[in-house]
């Protein structure tokens, strides 16, 4: 830890306020320790939000607390680390991204940065948040652009009969980290976009994420019509009319705000198609300069890159001609286009203007380069979009791939952080790009079996205590009898976790396909199994909600009670407990629908292992020794045949490989083969499937022209 600089009380208190306003603290456990220590109860109540907590502690108390010399020393060390981080000049980016003429402008409809910043719904947002943090760590100049969803994504409650209820909680503006972007006179900087016949004003709220900045656009202003004030109420809220308004604000509004602030991006990166209208704004700028349309389009494409995430045609955002005509009718001249030209630009069928307008299509047509998010997804995307391009073979379609990663430091249990700091030295988090470092890190001479096994026990225990607490709380709402939840799950038992959005293609109930057989695995007295589920279904996805309800029914089955658990309100906090507590992370999507998936990447550093369909990232990562595969490469055409087969493969791998290996112990009670596999998972996955590697790939292959 850095030495105290001998800061005054005033400097320490001022420093704490400054620290709480930069989300850097979300991936530095030593900073979280400080805030938690200030008030452990408020910290929990505040959903681990530093600015929320700071709003409730008086200046008088803060000053007095600095009289505790040990605490003051810790505060001082964290502030020194933070200031050093912010001032660092010799970054990876300074050496490797010098060629960038300006910052990267990264547009995403959601960002998952922390459980207390509720502007994300799932994997796409988490990816954007992790990208932002790695850009900061690497020193790649970065602006994220998204919307300020004042009620965010919903909080999930499960009713007594197992049905998902959605609750929206408005953010408290005084207790969050963002600050309104102002003009030269200190007034909120306002921009506007046209939607149909209305002009909609908006401001931007700035979030500091280490050295990165995220701008959150907000239309909730008194001068706007009511319906436009609500555009930014919910993540993916409302019908097509709300969605198109959100997407105009994000794409067109985002470019305008950057211009108004004087930010000059070197590249515009669209994370999924939601922001693709930004290409129209860039086109308008070119046309206004007098550039002929064809040339203007080429100039726009030269500045844009596009990442697609959806492996099925039906998953793409589409708008019909009427809605497009209403929304864009008043500004077609500015693009030098007719409505037919515009519709053709977003049409899947070689420019046929009578097809719906597809955001992915315009994004592909108006970008200099595009990519899928895993090798397999790159291939699937090339096949899917072949008709759009004037090429004959799939291999020639100009869509590459960059496999997704995770920001490792954000996905550590604090115990994991303490473990590796002790084993590898305080700067171990600076080696995510070095496979050799991780080969050495898992050397048994350095980390003996019993210590890795102790870490697993600690993390499994943490998850179990968290689950008991949450279940007790949840069941207290329904009335009596919550006490039985204080003894669910067994700390000695092999613990499988399954947590993600409850989209039906992810097949949460698959493990229960052959019910009697799986019952015997859960109830084997010598080698039992337990499983924890969590996940939200989209508010309009009743099929997904029925999946949740089925899981809830299994949790109540007399032979499964206490062994099958469903935790409410999956968010980044619940995720952190699950990804660190899981011995096995189960993922069984219908192939190839998991474009990449990232949750399985979060577990390796914590000593967990994947058991997954060979889909998305896992198809590239699995080498026979670092986890398990459910079935092989390839899948039958018929999805129902696939379901039956995969259920069979899953049962086989669990009963023949996973369970025996976990319970095969030596005289000291250690599972040698299991721990050997853990070492392989850490060494092969950590340095590869992280966002430092991913951002470095984007810089080299996509951001630098």
Ligand X SMILES: *Cc1c(COP(=O)(O)O)cnc(C)c1O
Rounded to an integer, what distance in angstroms lies between the CA atom of residue 460 and that of residue 567?
A: 15
State the nearest-atom distance from the C-beta of 113 to ligand X, in Å: 11
Closest CB to ligand X among 597 and 687? 597
C-alpha span between 440 and 455 (Å, rounded): 18
32 near ligand X (CB under 6 A)? no
Q: How far is the CB of 421 from ligand X (least distance, A)?
A: 23
Stretch that binds ligand X, among 19-27, 476-484, 566-574, 670-678 (CB under 6 A): 566-574
Q: Does 126 bind ligand X (CB under 6 A)?
A: yes
Distance CA 574, CA 161 (A): 22
CB of 688 to ligand X, least distance (A): 16
Say how many C-beta atoms besides its own lie within 10 A of residue 302's C-beta: 12
- Minimum Å distance from CB 111 to ligand X? 12
Residue 26 or 599 with smaller CB distance to ligand X: 599
Q: Does 598 help bind ligand X (rule: CB under 6 A)? A: yes
Stretch of residues binding ligand X (CB under 6 A), selected from 180-188, 198-206, 386-394, 594-602? 594-602
3-state secondary structure 527-543: CCEEEEEECCCCCCCHH
Per CB under 6 A, the segment of 271-279, 519-527, 597-605, 651-659 that binds ligand X is 597-605
Q: Residue 18 burial (CB < 10 Å; 0-12/13-18/19+)?
A: middle
What are the two backbone dihedrals, phi and then psi, of residue 322, each rounded to the nearest 5 degrees?
-60, -45
Q: Which of 455, 572, 586, 658 binds ligand X (CB under 6 A)?
A: 572
Question: Closest approach of Cβ 107 to ligand X, in Å?
Answer: 20
Minimum CB separation from ligand X for residue 382, in Å?
22
Q: Which is nearer to ligand X, 143 or 154 (CB)?
A: 154
User: From CA 694, how far away is CA 679, in angstroms rounded?
Assistant: 23
By rule CB under 6 A, what string of x and - marks binding of each residue 525-554 to ligand X? ------------------------------
- The H or E element containing residue 216 is strand 212-218
Stretch that binds ligand X, among 147-155, 355-363, 433-441, 567-575 (CB under 6 A): 567-575
Minimum Å distance from CB 608 to ligand X?
Answer: 13
Q: Mask: binding to ligand X, 61-90, rule CB under 6 A, as x and -?
A: ------------------------------
Stretch of residues binding ligand X (CB under 6 A), selected from 231-239, 282-290, 438-446, 591-599: 591-599
Distance CA(188)–CA(445), nearest Å, equals 58
Q: Which is nearer to ligand X, 267 or 572 (CB)?
A: 572
Which residues in 151-190 contact ligand X (CB under 6 A)? none
123 near ligand X (CB under 6 A): yes
Instruction: Choose the stretch contacting ligand X; rule: CB under 6 A; options: 121-129, 132-140, 279-287, 689-697.
Output: 121-129
Contact range with ligand X by CB under 6 A, out of 70-78, 477-485, 593-601, 620-628: 593-601
Q: What is the DSSP letter of 329?
A: G
Give yes or no for residue 575 binding ligand X (CB under 6 A): yes
360 in Cβ contact with 316 (< 8 Å): yes
Asked if 610 interacts with ligand X (CB under 6 A), we say: no
Select from 110, 286, 571, 661 the one that contacts ligand X (CB under 6 A).
571
| CB-nearer residue toward ligand X: 303 or 601 | 601
| Candidate residues 360, 530, 569, 599; the one interacting with ligand X per rule CB under 6 A | 599
Taking the C-alpha atoms of residue 520 and residue 462, their distance in angstroms, rounded to an integer, is 27
Residue 119 within binding range of ligand X, rule CB under 6 A:
no
Residue at token pair 């790939």? 697
Q: Which is nearer to ligand X, 144 or 265 (CB)?
A: 144
Q: Are 583 and 529 in contact (CB under 8 A)?
A: no
Least distance (Å) from ligand X to the CB of residue 579? 7
Binding residues for ligand X, how many (CB under 6 A)? 11
The answer to whether the beta carbons of residues 316 and 358 sit under 8 Å apart is yes
Region of 400 on the Ramachandran plot (φ > 0 left; ψ -120 to 50 alpha; else beta): beta
Closest distance to ligand X from the beta carbon of 577 (Å): 11
Residue 480 exposed, middle or buried by CB count within 10 Å (0-12, 13-18, 19+): exposed
Segment 293 to 352, residues that bind ligand X, using CB under 6 A = none
Residues in a beta bridge with 418: none
Query: What is the residue whose two structure tokens read 């198609």?
Result: 273
Binding to ligand X by residue 374, rule CB under 6 A? Answer: no
* C-alpha distance from residue 237 to each of 119, 171, 272, 555 (Å): 12, 16, 17, 31
Q: Which of residues 198-237 bind ligand X (CB under 6 A)?
A: none
Measuring CA to CA, which residue among 692, 688, 675 is closest to residue 438? Answer: 688
Can you tell me which of 118, 205, 462, 500 binds ligand X, judged by CB under 6 A? 500
Dump strand ranges (E) for 56-98.
none
Nearer to ligand X, 65 or 462 (CB): 462
Minimum Å distance from CB 600 to ligand X? Answer: 7
In the chain, count H helices and then E strands.
Answer: 29, 20
DSSP state letters, 593-627: --SS--GGGGSGGGT-EEEEES-HHHHHH--SSSS
- Under DSSP, the state recorded for 182 is B
Compute the least distance from the CB of residue 123 to ligand X, in Å.
3
**224-232, 442-450, 539-547, 596-604 -> range binding ligand X (CB under 6 A):** 596-604
Find all residues with CB under 8 Å of 313, minimum gap 6, and list them.
348, 384
Which residue from 15, 597, 607, 671 is in contact with ligand X, where contact means CB under 6 A? 597
The runs of H, that is alpha helices, within 226-306 are: 226-229, 240-248, 254-261, 278-288, 293-301
570 makes contact with ligand X (CB under 6 A)? yes
Pairing state between β 304-307 and 267-271: parallel
Mention every residue, 6+ apart, whose C-beta is less than 8 A from residue 102. Answer: 141, 263, 264, 265, 266
Rounded to 10 deg, the angle between the 29-38 and 69-87 helix axes is: 140
C-beta of 502: minimal distance to ligand X in Å?
11
Task: Report the C-alpha gap between 196 and 219 in whole angstroms.
Answer: 16
In the bound state with ligand X, the residue whose beta carbon lies nearer, of 362 and 630, is 630
Cβ 26 to ligand X shortest distance, Å = 13
Q: Which stretch binds ligand X (CB under 6 A): 141-149, 372-380, 569-577, 653-661?
A: 569-577
Q: Which of 252/574 has CB closer to ligand X?
A: 574
Rg from Cα positions in the chain: 25
Q: Does 631 bind ligand X (CB under 6 A)?
A: no
Residues 437-466 that bind ligand X (CB under 6 A): none
Q: Which of 51, 93, 122, 627 binds ligand X (CB under 6 A)?
A: 122
Q: Which helix (H) or strand (E) holds 133?
A: helix 123-138
Q: Return the range that interacts with ligand X (CB under 6 A); candidates 414-422, 595-603, 625-633, 653-661.
A: 595-603
C-beta of 196 vs 509, nearer to ligand X: 509
Nearest of 640, 657, 643, 570 to residue 613 by alpha carbon: 643
For residue 212, what are the β-bridge partners? 209
How many of the other CB atoms lie within 10 Å of CB of 469?
12
Give me the half-sphere count of Cα atoms (radius 13 Å) on the Cβ side of residue 659.
21
Q: Name which of 15 and 544 has its Cβ closer to ligand X.
A: 544
Q: Which stretches of the chain bind ligand X, using CB under 6 A?
A: 122-123, 126, 500, 570-572, 575, 597-599
């Amino acid at each position: 830890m850095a030495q105290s600089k001998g800061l005054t009380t005033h400097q320490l208190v001022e420093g704490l306020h400054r620290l709480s306003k930069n989300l850097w603290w979300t991936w530095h456990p030593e900073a979280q320790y400080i805030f938690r220590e200030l008030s452990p109860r408020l910290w929990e109540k505040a959903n681990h939000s530093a600015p929320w907590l700071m709003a409730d502690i008086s200046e008088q108390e803060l000053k007095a607390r600095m009289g505790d010399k040990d605490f003051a020393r810790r505060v001082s060390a964290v502030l020194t680390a933070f200031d050093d981080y912010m001032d660092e000049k010799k970054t990876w980016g300074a050496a490797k991204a010098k060629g960038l003429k300006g910052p990267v402008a990264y547009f995403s409809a959601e960002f998952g940065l922390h459980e207390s910043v509720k502007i994300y719904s799932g994997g796409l947002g988490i990816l954007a948040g992790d990208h932002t943090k790695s850009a900061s760590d690497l020193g790649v100049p970065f602006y994220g652009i998204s919307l300020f969803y004042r009620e965010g994504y919903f909080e999930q409650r499960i009713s007594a009969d197992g049905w998902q209820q959605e609750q929206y909680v408005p953010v408290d503006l005084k207790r969050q980290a963002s600050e309104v972007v102002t003009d030269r006179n200190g007034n909120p900087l306002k921009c506007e976009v046209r939607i149909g016949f209305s002009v909609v004003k908006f401001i931007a709220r700035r979030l500091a994420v280490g050295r990165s900045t995220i701008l959150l656009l907000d239309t909730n202003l008194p001068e706007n019509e009511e319906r436009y004030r609500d555009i930014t109420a919910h993540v993916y809220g409302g019908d097509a009319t709300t969605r198109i308004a959100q997407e105009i604000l994000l794409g067109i509004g985002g470019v305008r705000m950057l211009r108004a602030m004087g930010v000059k991006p070197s590249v515009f990166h669209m994370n999924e198609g939601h922001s693709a209208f930004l290409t129209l704004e860039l086109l308008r700028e070119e046309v206004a300069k007098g550039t002929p349309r064809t040339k203007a389009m080429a100039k726009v494409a030269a500045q844009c890159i596009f990442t697609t995430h959806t492996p099925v045609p039906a998953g793409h955002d589409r708008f019909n001609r009427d809605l497009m005509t209403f929304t864009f009718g008043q500004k077609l001249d500015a693009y030098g286009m007719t409505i037919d030209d515009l519709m053709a630009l977003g049409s899947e069928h070689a420019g046929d203007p009578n097809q719906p307008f597809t955001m992915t299509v315009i994004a592909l047509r108006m970008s200099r380069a595009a990519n899928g998010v895993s090798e397999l997804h790159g291939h699937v995307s090339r096949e899917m979009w072949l008709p759009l391009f004037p090429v004959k073979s799939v291999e020639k379609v100009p869509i590459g791939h960059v496999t997704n990663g995770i920001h490792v430091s954000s996905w550590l249990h604090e115990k994991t952080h303490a473990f590796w700091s002790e084993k590898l030295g305080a700067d171990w988090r600076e080696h995510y790009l070095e496979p050799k470092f991780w080969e050495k890190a898992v050397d048994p001479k350095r980390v003996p079996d019993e210590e890795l096994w102790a870490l697993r026990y600690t993390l499994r225990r943490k998850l179990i205590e968290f689950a008991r607490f949450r279940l007790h709380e949840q069941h207290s709402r329904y009335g009596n009898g919550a006490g039985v939840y204080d003894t669910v799950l067994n700390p000695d038992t092999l613990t499988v976790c399954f947590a993600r959005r409850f989209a039906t293609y992810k097949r949460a109930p698959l493990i229960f396909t052959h019910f009697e057989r799986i019952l015997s695995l859960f109830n084997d007295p010598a080698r039992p199994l337990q499983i924890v589920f969590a996940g939200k279904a989209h508010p309009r996805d009743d099929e997904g909600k029925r999946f949740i309800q089925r899981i809830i029914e299994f949790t109540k089955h007399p032979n499964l009670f206490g062994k099958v658990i469903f935790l409410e309100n999956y968010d980044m906090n619940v995720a952190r407990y699950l990804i660190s507590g899981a011995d096995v992370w189960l993922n069984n999507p219908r192939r190839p629908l998991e474009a990449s998936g990232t949750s399985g990447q979060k577990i390796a550093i914590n000593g967990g292992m994947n058991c997954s369909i060979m889909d998305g990232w896992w198809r590239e990562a699995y080498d026979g020794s670092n986890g398990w595969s459910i079935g092989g490469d390839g899948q039958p055409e018929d999805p129902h045949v696939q379901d039956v087969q995969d259920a069979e493969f899953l049962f086989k791998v669990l009963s023949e490989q996973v369970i025996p290996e976990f319970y095969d112990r030596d005289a000291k009670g250690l599972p040698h083969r299991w721990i050997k596999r853990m070492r392989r998972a850490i060494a092969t996955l950590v340095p590869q499937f992280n966002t430092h590697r991913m951002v470095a790939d984007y810089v080299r292959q996509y951001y630098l022209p």
